[in-house]
Amino acid sequence: MLEVRLFATLREGREKVYFLEAEKYKVPADILDELKIPHEEVAITLINGRHSKLDTSLKDGDLVAIFPPVGGG
């Protein structure tokens, strides 16, 4: 199972947290496609708190956090 947590505007029209079958999602890009998140809206992807790319391999038990850019002051 993968735990996927969406942050900021990526939550709008979606859930905050998804639990997804690990076998179906090999990389974070697969999750974005499943959740209909345009790749260009994603600024930061973390796997278990560490920076990852959209083609970084996922494994069962991973926590995937996905952020849009939030840098206003």
Cα separation, 5 vs 28, whole angstroms: 12
Take residue 9 and report the two structure tokens written for it: 């505007």
Task: Return the number of the residue (1 or 8) whose C-beta is nearest another protein.
Answer: 8
Task: Return the number of the residue (61 or 69) whose C-beta is nearest another protein.
Answer: 69
Decide: helix, strand or coil at residue 61. Answer: coil
CB of 32 to another protein, least distance (A): 15
Residue with tokens 């997804």: 20
CB of 8 to another protein, least distance (A): 4
Cα separation, 39 vs 47, whole angstroms: 16
Residues of this chain that bind another protein (CB under 8 A): 5, 7-9, 11-12, 16, 43-46, 48-51, 65, 68-73
